[in-house]
Chain A
Amino acid sequence: MARRIATKPKHVPMGLIETPFFDRLNALSRAKSWSGWAGYISPLVLDTVEFEYFAIRNQATLFDISPMHKYRITGPDALAVLNRLVTRDVSKIRDARVGYVMWCDEEGMLIDDGTLFRFSETDFRLCCQEPMFTWLLDAAWSYDAQIIDESDAIAAVSLQGPTSWSVLNDAGFADVFTMKPFDWREIEPDIWISRTGFTGDLGYEIWVPWAKANALWDRLLAAGDHWGLRAIGFEALNMCRIEAGFIAAGVDFQPVHAAMRLHRGRTPIELGFGKMVHFDKGHFNGRRALLKQRESGARYALVKIDIAGFKPADGALLYHKKKKEVGFVTSGVWSPTMKSNIALAELKAPYGVDIVDDIWAEIYVNEEGQWDKRLVPVTQQDKPFFANTRARATPPRPY
């Protein structure tokens, strides 16, 4: 017989949840500008976006990435499950390495992208923007593998900027010295550091159990003052990721499982990641559809563009020969470092693929209460807008 046990009624907490770093962030926040990220409170700006942006490019910065979804995939078939899931060949990612991965639905449309951390052939961690637990369970069905949602067990901060190695060195993590980009290591018990980031600059991500988060934060802050370390919010980071040419879920592509409307999905090929689709590794999700697209050609092209002038072009429509609408800007920002008006844009093929000239952006400018429309020329470019050798130099350079 079931007994009724008198307990307080339990319910899902209302509103946004604090990450383990929230008290530290709140104490530093002058702007009190918060947003919701996967149900957690995340800063948009702590002080001013300009200070924070330049700290990324000239000093060192800390950004709380604890709200990322983190899944552990373990078991004898873990590698097989992941190779089935993602488009690239996971067997080529060695132990203690990190790989950027994309995964698609059966139509080859991107579900999400993320970083895959390999402990061993039988143990991985996948970090991504979108909730992916049930999809991973489905992918692992009939395989000898376990999926664990570690999202609220593992906290993480992203330490980015030219002096980030120096911060780590002074904080007692000198062993990071030999780490190459995409390496990752357990530097101390329960502290894993990866040489990864979302800024295109020298940087690291530090992963600790939820309960040890604040000790780590305090240790880094104590060591970092001398190196100009400051905590930052999302807005400055977003400027840097556009400079680096990284795509963002829900912005530059619509994660297909979250899209409500038909035909909103895009393939890795259309997003410019054809090289990350390894057709020769055996079957993986969406392979047949992607193979078909490789034959028939992409429908869209996500490209990097440089827009004349300096007026913000986010969301601007793009025209061919100033007449035909052929696409739009998905992420645009004035780059203070490059001193140019940069953007990621989606063009409808063949524009952006075969036709790259004579493309114009339509920009609306409000000049003290009066709207003005301008058509300005657009130049397509292949390389990331921001690229600096310090990002990849091993050993990292101290500044």
Chain B
Amino acid sequence: MSENRFDVIVIGAGHNGLTAAATLAAQGKSVCVLERDDRIGGMSKTADLDGVQVPEMAHLLYNLNPSVAKGLGLKLDTRALPTVALSPDGNHVVIHDGTAAFVDGRVHPDAQAFATLYARLKKFAGLLGQLADGPPPALSGGVLDATTLGELAKLGKLGWGLKRLGKKDMREFLRVILSNAFDLILDEISDGPLAGALTADAVRGGYAGPRSPGTVFSLMYRLGNGGVVTWPMGGIGAVAASFESAARDRGVDIRTSVQIERLVIADDRVQGILLTNGTTLHADAVLSSAGAMQTMQIAGVANFDVEAARRMRNLRNKGTTAKVNLVLNAVPTFIGLNKEQSAARLLIAPSAREVERAFNPAKYGEMSPAPLIEAVIPTLTDSSLAPDGTHILSAVVSYAPYALEGGWTKKARAQLLENVIQTLERYAPGIGGLVSKSQVLTPVDIEKMTGAPGGHWHHAEMGIDQILTVRPANLVSRYAFGVGGLYLCGASAHPGGDVMGAAGRNAAMQVIKDGVLG
């Protein structure tokens, strides 16, 4: 076999691309992964800031798909982190294992209601979670079609699961599934940091506030694999490395710093990929973990129907989430938290109302003056990341809209950093003085660095109009993407974003099932 001929080429060496590659290689296929960047990992990279290992973009694991982890034999050393919902008055709430209590041990007045709500959401999420392990159901074949019957069985299983919930829960499921997180949560618990924390998990990464429809679904999505949040030891880059070695161990050829010119297509079938250096790599199938629109452009819009191009143009993928990494020359002191508690996942979402208010400016192309922050100080859990005494505060910041009015100028970025530090100062006075270095990545930077369209964390909004059988859009939800042998395998495909890997695995399985490989 020539060195430029493969069964499959995978575009992008993020976790989904690597999962797809490793899954196919495990089936005995020869696989090549092409990565534009000189580093592997996509959004799950560790960056070196003057000898300090910061999680460049993604920092925590919420949703790693168990089938993926098992299938690839990922060896991940992780630490589960509790969540601390910070309160401006120091009455922080610790959320752990589905229970809530004040940080000083006092009983939270909404503890019971929270536990009930959380358990119910988790139960519903588990039900939906089973749909993540395969392509979304397709029923277009009619009831006499054998494939369709299989799909019906899959839906039947969901239906049976729904039925088994009992009448009361089933009704509740159907009542809330399309609704908004704000109403659902405030129906059960009073507004404050606890409610704020739940809404924060519902909207993170999305162009949505707690009152946006579909946010109950995205909250359930976050809870799909149990809702446990973990810090991967060695940083998120270690997760990427783990995916990488799973792929390499199975014989995958990973090539970095490779620029793709276009797909080579003949007679409506993928033949390979032409690189900008003039090399052609041949393959029977191409799986792309790039965004859906970018994949369409690499393949040539002319190879798609007008409707398909229109759907891709209209995908909602306005990134709203920035990443701010701070290198600190001491452990910051959060009012009311001891050092151990400071190692938790810290949420600055003082109330559901505040979260909604933080979203408002994004609608008008402005950044939130008081942003919603998910912060973690990983050096308290993992001392290998920085020299002694140096600490990292890694913050996922909402909302910082991709299309900021006036653009992401130097001044605007400085303003974003200032807003983050000012917000942190309310809870950890003096933290600004500890910052020795900072890194600000806006959605525009994230798009530039990873190719994620709109800098969106999930490549396409996880809205009710862009999930399941309509993810990324109608008629392309089962990974096959127009041209014969071309497949989507990234976050824009079902089941979607987060460091999950399911899209990559499902796409690889679909390629095998479709029999496009010789």
Q: Which residues of A contact B (CB under 8 A)?
A: 80, 84-85, 105-106, 135, 138-139, 141-142, 282-283, 285-288
Contact = CB atoms under 8 A, between A and B. Distances in A.
B303 interface: yes
Nearest to B484: A288
Q: In the complex, which of the residues B297, B303, B307, B313 has the most CB atoms of chain A within 10 Å of its own CB atom?
A: B307
Given A141-B313, A283-B268, A135 B302 contact: no
A199 to B, nearest CB: 33
Contacts of A283: 268, 302-304
A286 B310 CA distance: 14
Contacts of B306: 84-85, 106, 135, 138-139, 141, 285
B303 A138 contact: no
Interface in B111-144: none
Contacts of A142: 297, 301, 309
Contacts of B303: 283
Interface string B305-337: 111111001000000000000000000000000
Nearest to A134: B310
Contacts of A141: 301, 306, 309-310, 313
21 contacts: A84-B302, A85-B306, A105-B305, A106-B305, A106-B306, A106-B307, A106-B308, A106-B475, A135-B306, A138-B309, A138-B310, A139-B306, A141-B310, A141-B313, A142-B301, A283-B302, A283-B304, A286-B305, A287-B268, A288-B268, A288-B482
A135 B306 CA distance: 8
Contacts of B313: 141
A293 to B, nearest CB: 15
Contacts of A285: 305-307
A222 to B, nearest CB: 46
A106 B303 CA distance: 12
Cβ-closest 10 pairs across A and B: A106-B305, A106-B307, A142-B301, A139-B306, A138-B306, A283-B303, A285-B305, A285-B306, A138-B310, A84-B302
A130 to B, nearest CB: 15
A80 B482 CA distance: 19
Contacts, number: 37
Contacts of B475: 106
Contacts of A286: 305
Contacts of B297: 142
Contacts of B304: 283
A142 B301 CA distance: 8
Nearest to A104: B305
Given A141-B310, A141-B313, A285-B306, 15 more contacts: A84-B302, A85-B306, A105-B307, A106-B305, A106-B307, A135-B306, A138-B306, A138-B309, A139-B306, A141-B306, A282-B302, A283-B302, A283-B303, A283-B304, A288-B268
Nearest to A108: B305
A106 B306 CA distance: 7
A283 B306 CA distance: 11
A33 B302 CA distance: 47
Contacts of B301: 141-142
Nearest to A135: B306
B294 to A, nearest CB: 13
A285 B304 CA distance: 8
A287 B265 CA distance: 15
A282 B482 CA distance: 14
Contacts of B268: 283, 287-288
A23 B305 CA distance: 44
A286 B302 CA distance: 12
Contacts of B482: 288
Contacts of A282: 302
A283 B305 CA distance: 8
Contacts of A288: 268, 305, 482
Nearest to B311: A106
A141 B482 CA distance: 17
A282 B303 CA distance: 8
